[in-house]
Amino acid sequence: MKMITRMLVAASALAMTSAMPALAKTFVYCSEASPEGFDPAPYTAGGTFDASAHPIYNRLTEFKKGTTEVEPGLAESWEVSEDGTEYTFHLRKGVKWQSNEKFTPTRDFNADDVIFSYDRQGNAENPWHQYIPGITYEYYTSMAMPDLIKSIEKIDDYTVKFTLNTPEAPFLANIAMPFASIVSKEYADALDAAGTREDLNNMPIGTGPFKFVAYQKDAVIRYTKNPDYWGTAPIIDDLVFAITPDAAVRLQKLKAGECHLMPYPAPADIEGIKADASLKLDEQAGLNVGYLAYNTTMPPFDNPKVRKALNMAINKQAIVDAVFQGAAEPAKNPIPPTMWSYNDAIVDDAYDPEAAKAMLAEAGVTDLSMKIWAMPVQRPYMPNAKRTAELMQEDLSKVGVKVEIVSYEWGEYLAKSMEPGRDGAVILGWTGDNGDPDNFLSVLLSCDSAGDGGANRAFWCNEDFSKLLKDAKITADPAERTALYEQAQVIFKDQAPWFTIAHSTQYVPMSAKVSGFVMSPLGDFTFETVDIAE
Amino acid sequence: MIRFILSKLLYLVPTFLGITIIAFSFVRILPGDPVLLMAGERGVTPERHAELTAQLGYDKPVVLQYFDFLGRLFHGDFGNSLVTKKPVLTEFLTLFPATVELGLCAIIIATLIGVPVGVLAAIKRGSWFDQISMTTALIGFSMPIFWWGLLLIILFSGILGWTPVSGRIDLLYYFPDVTGFMLIDSLLSGQKGAFTSALSHLILPSVVLATIPLAVIARQTRSAMLEVMGEDYVRTARAKGMPPSRVIGIHALRNAMIPVITTIGLQIGVLMAGAILTETIFSWPGIGKWMIDSISRRDYPVVQSGLLLIAGLVMLVNLLVDLTYGLINPRIRNT
Amino acid sequence: MTDATVKLSDAAIRRRMLAEFWFYFSQNRGAVLGLIVFILLVLVAVFAGLLSPHDPTVQYRDALLVPPMWEEKGRAAYILGTDAVGRDMLSRLIYGAQYSLFIGIVVVSIALVGGIVIGLLAGFFGGWVDTVIMRVMDVILAFPSLLLALVLVAVLGPGLTNAMIAIAIVYQPHFARLTRAAVMSEMKREYVTAARVAGAGNLRLMFRTILPNCLAPLIVQATLSFSSAVLDSAALGFLGMGAQPPAPEWGTMLAEAREFILSAWWVVTFPGLAILVSVLAINLMGDGLRDALDPKLKRS
């Protein structure tokens, strides 16, 4: 046995050294999850977009690298009508589609591609709407595109006009999101003719910086540089995703030089990474929030005073230390500090068990026992909900509140936490889609979302608050919008429908040889700017 | 013989039907809802929820769904994954070679080490070799392999840096799938070093997976040998003055192998269970990890058909073991 | 198992059998060692409250991930260190023994009782009852046990109780098969016929006459299942489907500790070691039991 191991080890060491000649620059990314597919439209997972929308495709508008600002993408410029309902996009000329062994494009990107990309998602009559049985367009639907878009017209080959039903301030940011990636109409037609429509999802053709080469399920995705890319060409020649779901294994691979960069390190490993000279660590405040949502329709939690008292009884810093290992900022607002309109003037409720006890007594609440729901899964905004719940349980017991921790299977958890009569407070969170405050506040806290199927899990409906959001949504002027959102945050803090937990910091460990990686506040991983030193 | 095989096969039909019922009904009574999982934190309106449920065909009566399921099975249609939208059979066949490669490698390690150790331990019964090897075997048999795998990663990949951490081959090698078996494909590719790279990636996971079968085989071999060596004809042969090596080689070993082969065959169930844990720890792109992921994602068609395919496979292997047994030992055929 | 009738099973004979059993059992050093460790484990579980230096659920916020006391940064108050929220590892491991024993006992009891009843029914009545029952058992056995337990737990909802039920259901066919086989061979014996002629009812025949005579293989299987149950429930806990945090169940502790595999070895190593040692002890005991109870091996 020992002999065999030794022989193999020797052999593998040999293989390592002999296989190393650097003919082309290959960048290996230890990704976390397998992509669901390579058509960005039907899917919702960030890991899928990192493998499809970002390397392979482009959108009309793009987020400027490292920010949530919108910049021109496949649309070079645009005009918005006075009333904010008509968007006219002027498309970039000379953008080449990629090719693969089965498809060679005969024309450049044009208006037909734009119309096709949107119509197949919104129009049930489009033959490509159901090109794979059971396919749905969740992002398109949940971003309210079907209600918002009245029509999309082709003015000429390089001009497209979108007409909206109502003005929507975040529209340009919405269409920079992965689901709005532009796919090739010509490729789709060719697949139609060949009878292999599902290849749109298996062998993607885009306009982006990298070309898809191959995918071995649950193991490896390979890309190569797109030589005809219309933007700045990537520096590396080949891009490889090594799918490695376990954080500890990912780090181990990074240390062993088996990959150059990894997402989502375990919080506990951060110190070790910082101490390792062969590694670098980029960090950035995440565009997210973790929260505990009370059921504001159930006594005694319908009383803002009780909610405030409970908030004061929980030691936020202890959660940040023990659960996030310090890799987070204690949250006082429902939106993260990196987002515009964040109201920094707000003062967080101090941790004060004595005062909390007094407030509870004042509100006439004694012998309170409650449930805290802890999510069964790990999310970027909440590395360990059970541990968080345990800490809260301890803290609340000190002010005489008995806590029972409950958990359900993830899908059930999401569903049951939305049921109006829910017993208990729910730990959950949110990661921003497009950097707009509306994407946090309206989705999570407005009266509209407090109804059936909405994501307002505090069931909190404050007319003043919702009014401010509605006004902000149809206001085009950023300064005015900022003022409205700042005001909304004041109401939120006063009413305390949530205990805001933390905004977790994103860490990206990489080999010290890597340069040029730009972190995205939206949590995307893109590699067209990275380089590796020899 | 043919009648024997046929009767065995016929016997499998009701069992297989039972398996379809279990696979189908268990999965359909799973709490949770794939539609909700797709929507995530955002939530979904009741109308949209109903619409999506109908689209997936989960609004029909369950019994009807079962017969639909069965009907499609007869046409070789195992359904499509809710997550990737791809046919379950395609996914199974893509991932299956990785599991088979891992499992075969593990069973080869287990057999090549387990059988000689067992035989030797039996021959030298009571010696230090017997005691040490059997203690080790019992430790292996008691091993929580998910922990064992983690320890080996820390030691061999982390501290010593001898083996790669995870994956099936160094990413610098790229060649198309031919058989799906990395060892074979790497040889076919003709790329220098590819085979050794594939082998070095395979060694740690297969050692972990082999741990329990190895222990079982070693113990089983030893006790089978002991039993055979106690039989009259072996004693007779010995008494006649046949050299011990011949006694062991000709009589004892051959007869002891019958239960050992059965044991090896029966390890496939153990291997599948072990594969779930091993693949999870080593990020091995195989069936076990696929099943775990699909259970947590409530990917009904994958769990249903996956259970079915795996159980069917275990059944087939057990049948093969039965048949081999029948071949070796004709007495069984008639009972 | 002589040919004499059941009436012979009086105290004297029982004592003699027990003495004989102990003689063979005590010959096996490993088995005795296993028994000692097992008894220690039981003692630890029973006196967990007295033995553990800390409350296993109290979180010492000033002592997160403290290494064991012999390490550089270790503290004497936490002999084996603390976990990510500052709970004492040693105390959690001690209380974990309760879980493991409890799981083993519950699983084996459910599987044993269920298996015996089903096996007795099948073996005693034969015919279509036997066919149906055994076919169902075949179906269960066709699935790899851990996979079936996983799906079952997913159906029932993750948690310790459900994990135990799932594991018991998966184990039960082994007992059923053993019982059935034993019953079928016993049925042909004279003492059964004698009892039947004497007018014993079906129930009496099944439980009083036949069952005591096929206990030996069941006992051996039960010990085996006990250790497998501890392992499998730990595996389920590790996959997040077993006991839920903050329960100090060893597998669950391992699952929680997995993120610290590179930074805090003690939270990963000790729970695994605890599982290994207790499973090993039970298996050693099981080996001894089998040797002592199985007359064939005894003489070879």
Q: What is the DSSP string of B154-221?
A: IIIIIIS--S-SSSSS-TT-----SSS-HHHHHHHHT-TTHHHHHHHHHHHHHHHHHHHHHHHHHHHH
pLDDT in tens, B219-230: 989 988 888 877
Whether the complex's predicted ipTM surpasses the cut of 0.85: no
Please list, in sequence order, all residues whose beta carbon lies within 8 angstroms of the beta carbon of residue C4, skipping any fewer than 6 positions away: C191
Residues composing chain A: 534
pLDDT value, residue C298: 43
Residue A87, beta-bridge partner list: A80, A162
Q: Which of B262, B286, B223, B295 is nearest to B95 (CA)?
A: B286
**Contact check, Cβ <8 Å, A252/C59:** no
pLDDT value, residue B118: 92
**Contact check, Cβ <8 Å, A214/B157:** no
pLDDT value, residue A410: 75
Phi, psi dihedrals of residue A150, rounded to the nearest 5°: -85, -50
Residue from the list A36, A133, A249 with its beta carbon closest to the beta carbon of B165: A249
Q: Which of C51, C153, C157, C161 is nearest to C102 (CA)?
A: C161
**Contact check, Cβ <8 Å, C85/A391:** yes
- Which H or E run includes A277? none
Residue from the list B18, B26, B229 with its beta carbon closest to the beta carbon of C151: B26
Residue B334 pLDDT grade (very low, low, confident, very high; cuts 50, 70, 90): very low
- Which H or E run includes A301? none
pLDDT value, residue B144: 93
C138 touches chain A (CB under 8 A): no
Pick A504 or C156 by higher pLDDT.
A504
C86 touches chain A (CB under 8 A): yes
pLDDT in tens, B243-256: 777 777 667 777 77
Distance CA A7, CA B185 (A): 21
Residue B330 pLDDT grade (very low, low, confident, very high; cuts 50, 70, 90): low
**Residues of chain B neighbouring A218 (CB-CB closer than 8 A):** 95, 285, 289-290
What's B67's DSSP letter? H
CA-CA-CA-CA dihedral for B216, B217, B218, B223, to nearest 10: 90
Distance CA C231, CA C277 (A): 11
pLDDT value, residue B39: 67
Please list, in sequence order, all residues whose beta carbon lies within 8 angstroms of the beta carbon of residue B48, skipping any fewer than 6 positions away: A141, A453
- Which H or E run includes A330? strand A328-330
User: What is the overall mean pLDDT for chain C?
Assistant: 83
Overall average pLDDT of the B136-155 stretch: 90
pLDDT value, residue B252: 74
**Residues of chain A neighbouring C62 (CB-CB closer than 8 A):** none
Distance CA B230, CA B65 (A): 57
**Residues of chain C neighbouring B307 (CB-CB closer than 8 A):** 143, 147, 151
Measured from the Cβ of residue C276, the count of other Cβ atoms closer than 10 Å reads: 19
pLDDT value, residue B186: 85
3-state SS class at A281 = strand
* Helices and strands per DSSP (H, E), number in chain A: 19, 19
What's B153's DSSP letter? I
Please list, in sequence order, all residues whose beta carbon lies within 8 angstroms of the beta carbon of residue C221, skipping any fewer than 6 positions away: C174, C175, C178
Distance from CA of C68 to the nearest CA of B (A): 18
Q: Which of C104, B196, B41, C162 is nearest to A431 (CA)?
A: B41
User: What is the overall mean pLDDT for chain B?
Assistant: 82
pLDDT value, residue A163: 95
Above 80 in pLDDT, residue B53? no
Intervals of chain A under pLDDT 50: 1-22
Q: Characterize the bridge pairing of strands A498-511 and A288-293.
A: antiparallel
Distance CA A118, CA A113 (A): 9
Interface of A with B in 303-322 (CB under 8 A): none
Phi, psi dihedrals of residue A440, rounded to the nearest 5°: -95, -60
The half-sphere exposure of B314 on its side-chain side, counting CA atoms within 13 A, is 26
User: Alpha carbon of C185 to those of A84, C120, C135: distances in Å?
Assistant: 88, 12, 20
pLDDT value, residue A66: 87
Q: How far apart are the first and last CA of chain B?
A: 13
With a pLDDT cut of 90, the percent of chain C lying above it is: 25
Residue from the list A12, A138, A454 with its beta carbon closest to the beta carbon of B38: A138
Residues composing chain C: 300
pLDDT in tens, A257-289: 889 999 988 877 888 899 999 999 999 888 999
Distance CA C10, CA C8 (A): 6
Residue A224, beta-bridge partner list: A211, A238
Token pair, residue C291, equals 């040797």
Above 60 in pLDDT, residue B43? yes
**Contact check, Cβ <8 Å, B37/A414:** yes
The half-sphere exposure of A267 on its side-chain side, counting CA atoms within 13 A, is 23
C126 touches chain A (CB under 8 A): no
Above 60 in pLDDT, residue C4? no
User: Alpha carbon of B98 to those of A264, B115, B288, C252: distances in Å?
Assistant: 26, 25, 10, 28
pTM of the model: 0.80
Handedness of CA C40, C45, C48, C50 (dihedral sign): negative
A65 touches chain C (CB under 8 A): no
Distance CA C169, CA C164 (A): 9
pLDDT in tens, C213-267: 777 788 888 988 999 999 998 999 888 888 876 788 998 888 888 777 777 888 8
pLDDT value, residue A21: 43
Angle between helices C265-293 and C89-125 (to 10 degrees): 30
Distance CA B129, CA B123 (A): 10
Residue C109 pLDDT grade (very low, low, confident, very high; cuts 50, 70, 90): very high
Q: Which chains lie within 8 Å of chain B at 3 or more CB pairs, if any? A: A, C
B323 touches chain C (CB under 8 A): no
Distance CA A284, CA A358 (A): 39
The answer to whether the beta carbons of residues A78 and A114 sit under 8 Å apart is: no
C166 touches chain B (CB under 8 A): no
pLDDT value, residue A462: 92
Residue C294 pLDDT grade (very low, low, confident, very high; cuts 50, 70, 90): low
pLDDT value, residue A2: 40
Q: Which residue of B has its CA nearest to A254?
A: B165
Handedness of CA A180, A186, A192, A194 (dihedral sign): negative
Residue B335 pLDDT grade (very low, low, confident, very high; cuts 50, 70, 90): very low
